[in-house]
Amino acid sequence: NAGVTQTPKFRVLKTGQSMTLLCAQDMNHEYMYWYRQDPGMGLRLIHYSVGEGTTAKGEVPDGYNVSRLKKQNFLLGLESAAPSQTSVYFCASSYGFGYEQYFGPGTRLTVT
Amino acid sequence: GESVGLHLPTLSVQEGDNSIINCAYSNSASDYFIWYKQESGKGPQFIIDIRSNMDKRQGQRVTVLLNKTVKHLSLQIAATQPGDSAVYFCADPRGGADGLTFGKGTHLIIQP
């Protein structure tokens, strides 16, 4: 099993550009999550999904959109990137609420 | 607000010594905790977990202690090795309505 994979690994955007980060998991997990990690801030939840076709806002959802069209994929979109969105983005999945989360390797995004 | 928090952002230990990383939580109803290890450039990985019906749980070179009276848990790493250098997070998988709540992390630095 590959576990949780993320693409791309690195990306540089100019302010105002858009992009989509892709997360895929092969563990048949119902729950999937997108976090951002900034120095000294720990991990902060952006959006999450409790199953195919569902999404919900986390702690810091502004400026991001998500979609879960297939159970194994969770996409994070930035419609108009801002320098404040420079961060490392982690995707995770879990069997259900309150279970261990499995994390992907991260995507390092820089917005100039 | 944050429901779990680590006491020290950085901990420096000599190679071969034991390391103790502390974490406090605020929710008396929390009954399950996970410790994650995040190496540089990687996503967090599960180390060990503990349920509230236990005071202590041991793994390979790691021990987690839970004190429900003072709402405190600790991660002890025996005979610290260079490969233990990482950021360690305690997490309450049921800490928020959306699931996992992370502390900010303690960076463990191993000195030769």
By C-alpha distance, the chain B residue nearest A47 is B98
Chain B residues closer than 8 Å to A100 by CB:
34, 46, 49, 93
Chain A residues closer than 8 Å to B89 by CB:
42-43
Query: Does A97 contact B99 at a Cβ distance shorter than 8 Å?
Result: yes
Q: Is the dihedral of CA B52, B56, B60, B61 positive or negative?
A: positive
By C-alpha distance, the chain A residue nearest B1 is A59
Q: Does B98 touch chain A (CB under 8 A)?
A: yes
What is the percentage of chain A residues whose pLDDT exceeds 90?
86
Q: Rounded mean pLDDT of chain A?
A: 94
Query: Does A45 contact B100 at a Cβ distance shorter than 8 Å?
Result: yes
Mean pLDDT of B70-98: 88
Q: Among A14-23, A100-109, B5-14, B60-69, where is mean pLDDT lowest?
A: B5-14
CA distance A89 to A105: 9
Per-residue confidence (pLDDT) for residue B70, from 0 to 100: 93
What is the percentage of chain A residues whose pLDDT exceeds 70?
100
Per-residue confidence (pLDDT) for residue A110, from 0 to 100: 97
Q: Of A11-15, A38-42, B71-75, give the range with the top mean pLDDT.
A: A11-15
Query: Does B99 contact A94 at a Cβ distance shorter than 8 Å?
Result: yes
Mean pLDDT of A25-53: 92
Per-residue confidence (pLDDT) for residue B1, from 0 to 100: 45
Strand order in the sheet with B62-67: B4-6, B19-25, B72-77, B62-67, B56-58
Mean pLDDT of B63-74: 94
Mean pLDDT of B36-57: 94
Shortest distance, CA B17 to any CA of chain A (angstroms)? 26
pLDDT, tens digit, 9 for 90 and up, residues B27-42: 888 889 999 999 999 9
Q: How far apart are the first and last CA of chain B?
A: 38
Q: Strand B32-38 relative to strand A107-111: parallel, antiparallel, unpaired?
A: unpaired
Provide CB contacts within 8 A for B83, sequence distance 6+.
none
Q: Among A58-72, B63-77, B96-110, where is mean pLDDT lowest?
A: B96-110
Mean pLDDT of A4-16: 97
pLDDT confidence bin for A42, thresholds 50/70/90:
confident
Pair A20, A32: CB distance under 8 Å: no
Query: Does B99 contact A56 at a Cβ distance shorter than 8 Å?
Result: no
Shortest distance, CA B93 to any CA of chain A (angstroms)? 4
Q: Does B31 touch chain A (CB under 8 A)?
A: no
